[in-house]
Structure 1
Amino acid sequence: MDHTPEYRPTVHFTPDDTWMNDPNGLLFHKGQYHMFFQSNPTGRLWGNIGWGHAVSKDLVEWQELPTAIPATTEEMAFSGSAVWDRHNTSGLGSGDEGPLVAFFTSAYTSEHPTRPRQQAQSIAYSVDGGDTWTRYEGNPVIDRGSADFRDPKVFWHGPTERWAMVVVEAKDRQVLVYTSPNLLDWEHASSFGPVGEEGVLWECPDLIEVPIEGSDASSWVLLLSTNPGGYSGGSGMRYFVGDFDGETFTQDLDGPRWLDYGPDFYAAVSFHGADEPLIIAWMANWLYSNDTPTFPWQSAMTVARRLSLVTTDRGLRLRQRPVLPDSLPDGINRFDFALDPGDEIAIETGEGENPSRVVLSRTPDGGLILDRSAADPHSVHGGIPTTNPIPHPPGTARGVVLEDHGLIEVFLDDGLISISMQTFPVQGPARIVTPAAVSRS
């Protein structure tokens, strides 16, 4: 396969020269955003998984750092989260400065002497602001003797003055809630699920308190990745809105909603320590993630998104707004558009008679379809050339397309609908064509 270095995006984070999947340990600490991620530091295919590390001042420009938590022959470090234990409840800090504490899933290999092929939750900590990390001697801190127990997301719950964790039994389709006074000793408090389709894996849960626009109120949002079970095939994400009392999540009566309708949005989690809900997702799909034609790296992240809740006639819905600078860097395009039922627009890339084309269309009944079947010459997308029709209310659909070297994120109705899709197009300038009611900024 022809690997094209020109696919390197401008504002979507990519590792320098290695494999990457789920974002982990998203953390804002002392003016700096930390993004850890699933990484194979020895190659561009999945395997030998530990935690990579990158930092940013603005969520747009990222600097990759050395591997934070490496794999060993007996243990890979799967997905998880990180917190600042500012009051040193864990006792792992030194002096007056509380440590950074990372929670990861110990995915024990067949070479582990006592837990072969099992998964448990473990800790690494840093006393130098995240530069270096030490595995905790008492690992694992939670062990159920399970082969599919993973992806701990830890946060502080102010009303109960305790740490809380959501983590999944993936095959059982359950989110388990644990609580702790000190990040070391954990007690099972409740379980949520199973809900929805059978035969899928639940992964990468997150529980976030999100403000409701136009009020002083908030609700809790449970993010959940499923593989398979995506809206258009392969992996994907949903969310539940409800209440959390520090021990139990109770969903509202409206059931799960789609977090993103595109085929390339997975494992989104929020930043600990930020003053507003912010998420980043892995911009890929497990159906074909090993097969995409980038080199020497593999995979990208979405841009960061701000979250809020909006009261609609269908209940509370998440609004997602991309975090971008006022002046866009060279290489990324923003196109504003308006679409009526039966209309379409195309994002064209390249010059000559056969440009790459991604088409966003409205069906006669008002639904939306994003079609990449004429977008790239590599045919690596595992039988998902288009999204399934996306429901939309009657009337004009207005939105924004972000295009970054073939990576496309669409935000409709001021972020109430998002669609994420990767393509690998013919190289060249990008433009939007038809109808007339569009503008480039």
Structure 2
Amino acid sequence: MRPDAQAADSPQQALSTPSQDTTPQWRPLLHYTPRRNWMNDPNGPFFYKGVYHLFYQYNPLGEEWGNMSWGHATSPDLLHWHEHDVAVPFSDTKDIFSGTVVVDTHNTSGLGTTDNPPLVALYTSVFKENAPRPAGVQAQSLAYSLDDGRTWQPYGKDPVLTLSPDSLHFRDPSVFWYAPGGYWVMTAVVANEQMVKLYKSTNLTEWTFLSDFGPTGFVHPDMLWEMPSLFPLPLDENPAQQKWVLMLGINPWSIAGGSGSMYFVGSFDGTTFHAEGLPPDGSDPAAYDWLDYGADHYAALVFSGLPESPPVTIGWMSNWDYAVQMPTSPWKGQMTLPMTMALRTIGGRPQLCLTPEKHYTTLVANDRPALSFDGLRLSSERHLLPDHARGQVLDIDMSMRIQDADRAGLFVRATADGQIGTCIVYDMKKHELIVDRSRSGLTDFSPKFSPEHAVSMPAPNGEISLHVIIDRNSVEVLSRNGSIVITDLIFPPVEADRIIAFSENGMTEFRYMKITRLDQKPE
């Protein structure tokens, strides 16, 4: 832990003092962010000896992108975070880009012992002018830890995997143990070619090419594929129907503009990933499957080393369209809320579903101040919820039935007069769930801060059930089954802490609504 870090008593990492934190109103309570400086993609999240480890792209010298290193934080519950010293720093010869960490339980690498197995990090080196390789070349390197991740040693043979000829875009290794074959599998990308490359190894230090995946027909000349992650999931919780999921970061051309996270479902035979149900070549982004339909979810990865349980994912809550203009200081960048993943048959095809991880649901249920409404009926009107539903950090569980209204929903992080607020609305005519942040607060820091994000969502008999998670500078809106998620950053003023329910041009019944305040301690 850094000397100026301290343990937090509420679900947040240690915060800077007011004199240091010039935008405390936007410092998230639930989502990890460093005390200061630039942060982007998560790297190598894993669970080991009861501790969750999170690494991330980090500039130790400033609030802008650069000097890429691996920052490091740990948590007992994915809510209370402790920031540590930089784990893998940049040097005069290379920057440290994204990668993975695995627990080498059987010491296949020979870098530890069976009694003290090593933690092995595989990451992308970007070589500089005075390096032994040409400037700008990207290749995969290795570091290891024998003290539970506190310190990291470089491997003597650097790099451990290159392309021939050298590439300026070969990056983002993600590694897992493939038990049926008894070897490690790596996915990496040649980002500008929209290509995922698969390799295998028995010792993590020597890699053999397996196969390529891509392109799939969803390509553009300036599109980058990044941060690939391949993992198995049972379909509909049936172990006999195992599928494989390949997650990717897409930048630009995502569903909400700029960068975003998509996925493919298919099969993996130990050599090749085969995607199923691909749209025709040249299809619109909406024809593909997205982890998130908002603007601020990118570079999703899966925690390795978890015991037998649903896999947990975390991503970068930002967008390359405007990340460098973010109005927060002295930090820029934060992570999404960790989510568990399941693969369910919805609409006749497998879809990846996200739900908040168990530690968060326990927090919400742990006697926090809550307000419940049943049977609130609105007819072409707005209704300001009472003062004890006010808050900057809220969990909202709600179900509404739109009877004959055109649109209905909530304004959250709103002022009492409704002039400022983020609109979460279902449109019955378009059959769309929409998050509109056009009047959410500060929005003019970038012309690419997109105002509205929508996704098609059925509403049988006008029934809509949503789970909404509100932090000081974000909203995460999930459908009840988790197949639809919209994640958006917002920058509201402090006084915007109200909720307004509304129904437009007709009747809506808010059949159930429970609002839990997470910025207050249990009663």
TM range (shorter): over 0.9
User: Residues 351 and 331 from structure 1, CA distance in 2 versus in 1: closer, same or farther, beyond 3 angstroms?
Assistant: closer
In structure 1, the partner of 2:61 is 42
5 Å-filtered alignment, 1:141-220, equals 141-144=160-163, 145-195=166-216, 196-199=218-221, 200-216=223-239, 217-220=241-244
| Equivalent residues of 1:9, 1:331 under 8 A apart | no
User: Residues 270 and 95 from structure 1, CA distance in 2 versus in 1: closer, same or farther, beyond 3 angstroms?
Assistant: closer
User: How far off its partner does 1:269 sit?
Assistant: 0.3
User: How far off its partner does 1:414 sit?
Assistant: 2.3
The superposition leaves residues 384-417 of structure 1 with CA deviations (integer Å, 9 ceiling, x where unpaired) of 4334431112432211110010211111132110
User: How far off its partner does 1:273 sit?
Assistant: 0.7
| Equivalent residues of 1:153, 1:167 under 8 A apart | yes
Counterpart residue type for residue 302 of structure 2: S
User: How far off its partner does 1:32 sit?
Assistant: 0.6
Counterpart residue type for residue 313 of structure 2: I
The whole-number CA distance in structure 2 between the counterparts of 1:325 and 1:381 is: 34
User: How far off its partner does 1:350 sit?
Assistant: 5.7
The superposition leaves residues 300-319 of structure 1 with CA deviations (integer Å, 9 ceiling, x where unpaired) of 10110000110123300111
Matched residue SS, 1:83: strand
| Equivalent residues of 1:287, 1:382 under 8 A apart | no
5 Å-filtered alignment, 1:233-248, equals 233-248=257-272
Tell me if 1:356 matches 2:420: yes
Listed as ranges, the gaps of 5+ residues in structure 2 are 1-20, 280-287, 369-390, 503-508, 517-523
Moved more, 380-389 or 307-316: 380-389
Which of 381, 396, 399 is 1:335 aligned to?
Answer: 396
Counterpart residue type for residue 337 of structure 2: V
| Equivalent residues of 1:232, 1:386 under 8 A apart | no
In structure 2, the partner of 1:372 is 437
In structure 2, the partner of 1:293 is 327
| Equivalent residues of 1:233, 1:384 under 8 A apart | no
User: Residues 365 and 273 from structure 1, CA distance in 2 versus in 1: closer, same or farther, beyond 3 angstroms?
Assistant: same
Identity of paired residues, percent? 38
In structure 2, the partner of 1:128 is 147
Q: RMSD of the alignment, in Å?
A: 1.9
Moved more, 56-65 or 359-368: 359-368
The whole-number CA distance in structure 2 between the counterparts of 1:123 and 1:45 is: 26
The whole-number CA distance in structure 2 between the counterparts of 1:428 and 1:30 is: 42
| Equivalent residues of 2:398, 2:467 under 8 A apart | yes
Give the alignment's TM-score, normalised by structure 1: 0.95
Which of 315, 319, 324 is 1:281 aligned to?
Answer: 315
The whole-number CA distance in structure 2 between the counterparts of 1:342 and 1:24 is: 44
| Equivalent residues of 1:76, 1:108 under 8 A apart | yes
Matched residue SS, 1:326: helix
Counterpart residue type for residue 165 of structure 1: M
Counterpart residue type for residue 310 of structure 1: R
Which of 475, 480, 501 is 1:413 aligned to?
Answer: 480
Moved more, 345-354 or 231-240: 345-354
Which of 346, 349, 352 is 1:315 aligned to?
Answer: 349
Matched residue SS, 1:73: coil
Tell me if 1:68 matches 2:87: yes
Counterpart residue type for residue 118 of structure 2: P
The whole-number CA distance in structure 1 between the counterparts of 2:419 and 2:425 is: 18
Matched residue SS, 2:481: helix
| Equivalent residues of 1:350, 1:427 under 8 A apart | no
Moved more, 351-360 or 77-86: 351-360
Counterpart residue type for residue 189 of structure 1: L
| Equivalent residues of 1:355, 1:426 under 8 A apart | no
Tell me if 1:258 matches 2:290: yes
Matched residue SS, 2:149: coil
Moved more, 92-101 or 336-345: 336-345
Matched residue SS, 2:25: helix
Moved more, 426-435 or 262-271: 426-435
The whole-number CA distance in structure 2 between the counterparts of 1:382 and 1:270 is: 32
- How many aligned positions are there? 440
The whole-number CA distance in structure 1 between the counterparts of 2:220 and 2:490 is: 30
Give the alignment's TM-score, normalised by structure 2: 0.81
User: Residues 175 and 251 from structure 1, CA distance in 2 versus in 1: closer, same or farther, beyond 3 angstroms?
Assistant: same
In structure 2, the partner of 1:326 is 362
The superposition leaves residues 58-77 of structure 1 with CA deviations (integer Å, 9 ceiling, x where unpaired) of 11111111100000122000
The whole-number CA distance in structure 2 between the counterparts of 1:260 and 1:3 is: 30
In structure 2, the partner of 1:54 is 73
Matched residue SS, 1:23: strand
User: How far off its partner does 1:376 sit?
Assistant: 1.6
Larger Rg: 2
User: How far off its partner does 1:361 sit?
Assistant: 2.0
User: Residues 325 and 63 from structure 1, CA distance in 2 versus in 1: closer, same or farther, beyond 3 angstroms?
Assistant: farther
The whole-number CA distance in structure 2 between the counterparts of 1:206 and 1:119 is: 19
User: How far off its partner does 1:254 sit?
Assistant: 4.2
Matched residue SS, 1:375: coil
User: How far off its partner does 1:51 sit?
Assistant: 0.1
In structure 2, the partner of 1:385 is 450
Moved more, 243-252 or 347-356: 347-356
The whole-number CA distance in structure 2 between the counterparts of 1:313 and 1:288 is: 34
Counterpart residue type for residue 350 of structure 2: L
The superposition leaves residues 310-342 of structure 1 with CA deviations (integer Å, 9 ceiling, x where unpaired) of 012330011100121423479520112335473
| Equivalent residues of 2:122, 2:142 under 8 A apart | yes
| Equivalent residues of 2:436, 2:453 under 8 A apart | no
Counterpart residue type for residue 335 of structure 2: M
